[in-house]
Amino acid sequence: MDKEMLKIKLGEENYQKLLGIDNSKLHEFVARYVELCNPDKVFVATDSQEDINYIREASIRNGEEKKLAVDGWTVHFDGYYDQARDKPRTKFLLPKGVDLGPNLNAMDRDEGLEEIHEILKNIMQGKELYIRFFCLGPTNSEFAVPCVQLTDSAYVAHSEDLLYRWGYEEFKRQGKSARFFKFVHSAGELDERKASKNIDKRRVYIDLEESTVYGSNTQYGGNTIGLKKLAMRLAINRAAKEGWLTEHMLIIGVHGPNNRVTYLTGAFPSLCGKTSTSMIPGETIVGDDIAYIRKSGDRVYGVNVESGMFGIIMGVNSKDDPIIWKVLHNPNEIIFSNVLIGEDNKPYWIGMGEEIPEKGNNYSGEWTSGKKDAKGNEITPSHRNARFTSDLKQLDNLDEKLNDPNGVELGGMFYGGRDSDTWVPITEAFDWTHGIITKGASLESETTAATLGKEGVRKFNPISNLDFLSVPIGKYIEMNLNFGNSLENPPLIFGVNYFLKDKDGNFMNEKTDKKIWLKWMELRTHKEVDAVKTPTGFIPRYEDLKKLFKEVLNKDYSEEEYKAQFTIRVPENLAKIDRIKKIYETTVAETPPILFKVLEEERQRLLEAKEKYGDYIPPDKFR
């Protein structure tokens, strides 16, 4: 390490901040990329409020964010063609002989490092580099993973200030023993709107060998906020080696009888109700996106990796999302990205339930209703992937155990996707293996015409983690199986479906009904209600649901509704088994043999039931 070069680049004050962390590997990493990226200035941020404020002010000073009418609110615009995760250019860098399977995007490690280092060479000339320290999971905890972020984007650093626990002191605590994740990012050359200009050189490369993520020529959060889904890939890889889990899961505290709180995790693909589930009024949120899950004795504990929200804002309205709506209308610290800013200097977005101005400023520049882009596509007022970034402490329903270093004990786990015709609204698996295979590993979700093109196409998404895996799918499923099967009493596993439709295409449940499924799961984890055994798992008894609907929602729940919703649809379930089996046979390497055995057992149960009762079996037949 060239200490003299580093001292000159950082200056005495910043140099001493860096040396305050006793970790030579950290110092060498910083020196290497300061020299390569060659910024004009370097700022090292500790956990002090003074240093945090410097970053926030830099985002305004640099023009990456602009202040809005309400105190604490700012807006950031990504480039018009930099509005989402760049999946084709997000690649694992793998050494020769390592193969993650055909579902994961990868390239030769040596070639990838040579390319990204060439792109990063002198990329920060004329800019200031911000060095930030964060912690994934609570600090001073077995769950804690320290992270260092190098970026020339104050917007990225500011976003991470809101989303993650500050980690300078955690680095100092762990010292030489710290096994940290590393992130190097540059927004590259900026245009007149301070957005990344050279999109053709946009890269997001993940080096599992060195636990390092590289990003260039992009500002969109999913590509640049490295501690989110990019760090998730690093953590999945580490967890696979160490016997714990990194999951794309919410954690919610469901409140049961006698002031009891039972913690559940849930995994949903995008647009399937994950955020709305985590924000259900009356329950408490620990996390809405990513969880680390570990064993202690015969019990399972989970933590929220993050301490903030990088949430999709489209469709957030006062009726359906009262908790988030309140956050978005109070003078809190919020970064709005890619929304419409009206002449009143306030944010507007699609689906907010209020009149949207006919003109303003948005991700395309000056905007008026009906404006079209160069390809003739109409430009919406806000982007469909527009976001808000906020600290979780702004939420009224935040659980008091968010930062508990021991995590929260998990009573159950549930999986759900957009499914119009197969799963009943709530099912409990027979055991851990049955649950992981038939609920988690078999998870699918249907596309919606409004946002994803052709409607009703089923997308395979095992445990809602396909996009973020850094191990082969088969190995990932085996990891999950082994995790729970090593326990005498693992958490219960459930499958949920908010999107079941009748023969006329109408949804069979109200949006608020999901609260009932949560309450039933909570009762089942404490063995306080019985259930009906069907070929696909345990379902609720009518009398228990009737009582819950009345007590929780003050709604009458008829036996006709129950029968319609909880009818076992044999043809659709058999077709699903065929689809899932074919995927694992043809596209997934190293599939555990138990998966095919469990699917075949489910098939046989369905065929036996069909022989007795027909294709569509009402729940009373199983009583």
What's the topology of domain 246-307+402-622? Answer: Phosphoenolpyruvate Carboxykinase; domain 3 (3.90.228)
3-state secondary structure of 19: helix
Give CA 348 to chain center in angstroms: 24
Greater confidence (306 vs 99) lies with 306
pTM, two decimal places: 0.95
β 616-617/568-569 pair status = antiparallel
Helix axes 542-553, 514-525, angle to 10 degrees: 120
Asked if 80 contacts 167 with a C-beta cutoff of 8 angstroms, the reply is: no
Asked if 293 contacts 410 with a C-beta cutoff of 8 angstroms, the reply is: yes
The domain ranges of the chain are 3-62+86-242, 246-307+402-622, 310-394
**If you average pLDDT over residues 50-76, what whole number do you get?**
97
The backbone region for 46, taken as left when phi is positive above 0, alpha when psi lies in -120 to 50, beta otherwise, is beta
33, 82, 114, 215, 420 from 111: Cα distances, Å: 18, 25, 5, 16, 45
Q: What is the model's pLDDT at position 454? A: 66
**If you average pLDDT over residues 503-530, what whole number do you get?**
96
465-504 pLDDT, tens per residue? 998 999 999 999 999 999 999 999 999 999 999 999 999 9
Q: What is the model's pLDDT at position 239? A: 97
384-418 pLDDT, tens per residue? 999 999 999 999 999 999 999 999 999 999 999 99
Q: Is 553 exposed, middle or buried (0-12, 13-18, 19+ CB in 10 A)?
A: middle
What's the topology of domain 3-62+86-242? Answer: Phosphoenolpyruvate Carboxykinase; domain 1 (3.40.449)
What value does the CA radius of gyration of the chain take, rounded to a whole number of Å?
25
β 181-186/212-216 pair status = parallel
The span from the CA of 38 to the CA of 346, in Å, is 38
Q: Is 434 exposed, middle or buried (0-12, 13-18, 19+ CB in 10 A)?
A: middle
333-363 pLDDT, tens per residue? 999 999 999 999 999 999 999 999 999 999 9
Is the pLDDT reported for residue 451 higher than 50? no
Residues 6+ apart with CB under 8 A from 75: 65, 66, 68, 335, 336, 337, 339, 341, 347
**If you average pLDDT over residues 211-236, what whole number do you get?**
94
Domain 310-394: state its class: mainly beta
Is the pLDDT reported for residue 452 higher than 70? no
Q: What is the model's pLDDT at position 226? A: 87
- Quick check: is 272 catalytic? yes
Catalytic residue among 37, 135, 147, 272: 272
**If you average pLDDT over residues 594-616, what whole number do you get?**
98
Asked if 120 contacts 216 with a C-beta cutoff of 8 angstroms, the reply is: yes
